[in-house]
Structure 1
Amino acid sequence: MRDRGSIKWTSMMLPEHKKMLADLYEEQKHFTKPTLDEQKLEELNDIVRVALGHTLDVKVTFYRHQAFYSVKGQVAKIDELHKIVRIIDDSSAEHRVPFEDIVNIEID
């Protein structure tokens, strides 16, 4: 016997209940932003500066809208006034990632 989970019960549910279940499943996909300590922030700063100085490819993972995203490319500029790192990807598109959203940076 194969159990279909909540699928078998949705035919007996009101539309409002189906929406609540869909919202609950969507909510479970959301993540909370991790808090980085001072040592990790310093490490990320060093990696960005090395990548900028040597035009290395990086993978920047950042948090936005309760989810994690990644962008690969070269660091074009560190805008300390606006607290943004500008990344140019392979298709020459520019991505502006705020400092506070960055979770991890890896040299590719």
Structure 2
Amino acid sequence: MIRDRGNIKWTAMMLSEHVAELHRWQNEDHYEERPQLDDFDLQAIQYEIEVAKKRECAVHVKLWDKGKSVFYMGVIREVNVEAMWITVDSPFGRDRMPVSDIISVQIAE
């Protein structure tokens, strides 16, 4: 009877450089290009942020962060024009997001 240990056997034979290169290669496969937003998109994002702030309603915010899209849901509590970030209260806590990384904002109804 053959007793094969599967992944334990293969990871023990790999060098740390090989493992690091495989992780880099895997991350490269999931990389997304940053979407190019025109003036109309930026105006729509600004309008949605202003309306959501005045109404104090829940929003879906989509950010671009290091090659991937990140989704947040919460209520916009603060908009800082000078520092160029917004603060969103979510069920998991308060998140501060730079305006330059925002891809889209939608009011959740």
Using the TM superposition, give the Cα deviation of residue 106 of structure 1 relative to its aligned residue in structure 2, in angstroms.
0.9
Q: Distance in 1 between matches of 2:18 and 2:91?
A: 45
Give unmatched runs, 5+ long, in structure 1.
1-9
The aligned counterpart of 2:33 is: 32
Q: What SS does the corresponding residue of 1:44 show, helix, strand or coil?
A: helix
Q: What SS does the corresponding residue of 1:52 show, helix, strand or coil?
A: helix
Using the TM superposition, give the Cα deviation of residue 25 of structure 1 relative to its aligned residue in structure 2, in angstroms.
2.1
What is the total number of aligned residue pairs between the two structures? 98
Please list the CA deviations of residues 40-71 of structure 1 after superposition, one character each: whole Å capped at 9, or x if unmatched.
Answer: 00001000000000111001000112211111
The one-letter code matched in structure 1 to 2:30 is: K
Using the TM superposition, give the Cα deviation of residue 14 of structure 1 relative to its aligned residue in structure 2, in angstroms.
6.4
Q: How does 1:1-108 map to 2 (within 5 A)?
A: 15=15, 16=17, 19-91=20-92, 93-108=93-108
The one-letter code matched in structure 1 to 2:63 is: F
The aligned counterpart of 1:5 is: none
Task: Compute the RMSD of aligned alpha carbons.
Answer: 2.1
Q: With structure 1 as the length reference, what TM-score do the two structures score?
A: 0.79
Percentage of pairs with the same residue: 20
